[in-house]
Amino acid sequence: MEILRIPRITQDSCKRHLLRGRSLGFVPTMGALHDGHISLVKRAKMENDIVVVSIFLNPLQFGPAEDLDKYPRDIEEDIRKLREEEVDILFLPDKSLMYPQGFSTHIEVGGLSEKLCGKSRPGHFSGVATVVAKLFNIVSPTRAYFGQKDFQQTVIIKRMARDLNSDADIIVCPILREQDGLAMSSRNAYLDNEQRSAASALYRCLNKASDAVKSGIRSGEQIRTLMRDSLSAATLISGIDYASVYDTETLEEVSEIKKEALLAVAVRIGNTRLIDNILLIL
């Protein structure tokens, strides 16, 4: 595995592969890799000649009161895992090379970025869209792999790619879960034992709502109430950012569930913010 730190050199290396007719699969991450990340790498490996993974803790997508400084890091272990998967290129840029002095371009994906997580994380999706656009320009991926875990992110990246004429195929991969259903996340490392067992309430809430829809309830309002009641009854949840049912394209709350809908939750357990979702296809 080549480990490259300089954007220009990474760009040249990726271009050389593309010029030789090789397809390039790209998995952007912020490190502290778990099996969820690795599932994206495995999929990229299956579908492409060359696999590029980036690890970059992107300061632009963290708010001033958020966890950038204490975000889990274990670069040695990450490198070991990626070598095991036979990744071809690890792009590991330094902040100063991604955002040199004078950096002043920001990408806003209007209409979608303010909803769901955008409400409690202003500026977050602008930070995400900006870094992904930069990474796409550096790597020029044939296919780029994102997890459904961050559903809103996938909708925003797809829209950005379409609006900016990116030729990368955006591939959305299923959520990997722990045995009790908790979606894998680097942030789960923040939870103590009690909080960790309380965190299974998110998936239980989503399943209850999913079962209710499957049993014939189509009212968005009823499903919202059911989800909120389920989370309120759980222990250690200190706040609910949102718990509702959404249109999968516009991310608007739906009043009547039709063919396809997104059940999504964001809650706080102690100081840790956790998100999860289930895609309903009727």
Cα separations in angstroms, 225 against 18, 212, 244, 269: 51, 12, 8, 20
- Residue with tokens 């999706």, as numbered in its chain: 125
The reply on whether position 188 binds ligand AMP by CB under 6 A is no
Residue type, position 181, single letter: G
Contact letters for ligand AMP, residues 133-162 (x by CB under 6 A): -------------xx-xx------------
The reply on whether position 131 binds ligand AMP by CB under 6 A is no
The reply on whether position 79 binds ligand AMP by CB under 6 A is no
Which CB atom, from 36 or from 127, has the smaller least distance to ligand AMP? Answer: 36
Assign residue 21 a region (left: φ > 0; alpha: ψ between -120 and 50; beta: otherwise): left
Are 81 and 33 in contact by the 8 Å Cβ rule? The answer is yes
The reply on whether position 116 binds ligand AMP by CB under 6 A is no
The reply on whether position 170 binds ligand AMP by CB under 6 A is no
103-111, 175-183, 192-200, 204-212 -> range binding ligand AMP (CB under 6 A) = 175-183
The reply on whether position 206 binds ligand AMP by CB under 6 A is no
Continuous H helices in 140-254: 151-163, 193-198, 201-214, 220-233
Query: Which residues are CB-contacts of 160 (< 8 A; sequence separation ≥ 6)?
Result: 107, 109, 129, 132, 133, 166
| Phi then psi dihedrals of residue 235, to 5 deg | -85, 155
The reply on whether position 242 binds ligand AMP by CB under 6 A is no
The string of DSSP letters for 20-86 reads TT--EEEEEE-SS--HHHHHHHHHHHHH-SEEEEEE---GGGS-TTSSTTT----HHHHHHHHHHTT
37 is catalytic: yes
The reply on whether position 186 binds ligand AMP by CB under 6 A is yes
The reply on whether position 43 binds ligand AMP by CB under 6 A is no
Residue type, position 132, single letter: V
Distance CA 27, CA 120 (A): 26
CB of 147 to ligand AMP, least distance (A): 2
Give the active site residue among 17, 34, 37, 124.
37
Which positions from 6 through 35 interact with ligand AMP, judged by CB under 6 A?
29-30
The reply on whether position 172 binds ligand AMP by CB under 6 A is no
Determine which residue in the list 13, 14, 26, 39 makes contact with ligand AMP, applying CB under 6 A: 39
The reply on whether position 132 binds ligand AMP by CB under 6 A is no
The reply on whether position 121 binds ligand AMP by CB under 6 A is no
Distance CA 172, CA 151 (A): 9
CB of 28 to ligand AMP, least distance (A): 6
- Site residues (vs ligand AMP, CB under 6 A): 29-30, 36-37, 39-40, 146-147, 149-150, 173, 175-176, 183-186
- Name the residues annotated as catalytic: 37
